[in-house]
């Protein structure tokens, strides 16, 4: 029995040490391939970790008669890389530039800044009374969600749901420029 066949048997038996061995033997080479596919070393590392998890979870589908373990792992990881690149969330992240590159500067708010000056309090008047109360307590009075739940005598989950619904409603009320 080859070392590779023995490793596959150990992986099939869910031997965690075998997974560490797999990682030690193949991760560097797989990462090299993935960097070429995704063209981003950080993304390649993420894809590698998820790809190795897929290898671990799907080792039962590996067929030694169709090729070597490494070739199968390259296929699994590259398929995951392609899926990642096609994912709309990845496309969105790729279009966004980091703040440092975009030239954004972090500056403290002016000492005279008051959230009410931008009309948020007026917008909250368009909310349902239950939502308005939640926003008032959370954002204008500075309470935590747990404190709001206790103060209003409602479950924490209800506070979270109403806060989320209120934020969506505020976005609609603010209009397309928001």
For the chain, the structural domain boundaries read 3-97, 115-174
- Give residue 52's pLDDT: 93
Q: What pLDDT sits at residue 92?
A: 56
* Domains 3-97 and 115-174 in one fold: no
CATH topology of domain 3-97: Rna Polymerase Sigma Factor; Chain: A (1.10.1740)
Q: Which two tokens stand for residue 14?
A: 């869910």
Query: Would you report the helix, strand and coil content of the chain in percent, each value rounded to 5?
Result: 75, 0, 25
pTM: 0.51
- Pair 9, 22: CB distance under 8 Å: no
Q: Count Cα neighbours of 33 within 13 Å in the Cβ-side half-sphere.
A: 21
- Fill in the DSSP letter of residue 109: P
Predicted confidence pLDDT, tens digits, the chain (178 residues) = 779 999 999 999 999 999 999 999 999 999 999 999 998 898 999 999 999 999 999 999 999 999 999 999 999 999 999 998 888 776 656 555 555 555 555 556 566 655 555 677 788 888 898 988 988 888 888 889 899 999 999 998 999 999 989 888 888 887 765 4
Q: Which fold has domain 115-174?
A: Arc Repressor Mutant, subunit A (1.10.10)
């Amino acid at each position: 029995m080859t070392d590779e066949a023995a490793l596959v048997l150990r992986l099939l038996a869910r031997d965690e040490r075998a997974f560490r061995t797999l990682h030690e033997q193949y991760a560097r080479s797989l990462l090299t391939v993935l960097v070429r596919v995704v063209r981003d070393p950080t993304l390649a590392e993420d894809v590698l970790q998820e790809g190795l998890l897929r290898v671990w979870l799907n080792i039962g589908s590996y067929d030694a008669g169709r090729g070597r373990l490494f070739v199968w792992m390259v296929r699994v990881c590259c398929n995951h890389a392609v899926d990642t690149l096609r994912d709309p969330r990845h496309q969105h992240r790729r279009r966004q530039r980091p703040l440092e590159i975009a030239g954004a500067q972090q500056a403290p708010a002016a000492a005279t800044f008051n959230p009410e000056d931008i009309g948020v309090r007026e917008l909250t008047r368009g909310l349902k009374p239950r939502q308005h109360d939640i926003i008032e307590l959370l954002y204008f009075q500075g309470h935590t969600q747990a404190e709001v739940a206790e103060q209003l005598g409602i479950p924490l989950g209800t506070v979270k749901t109403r806060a989320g619904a209120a934020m969506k409603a505020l976005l609609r009320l603010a209009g397309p420029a928001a």
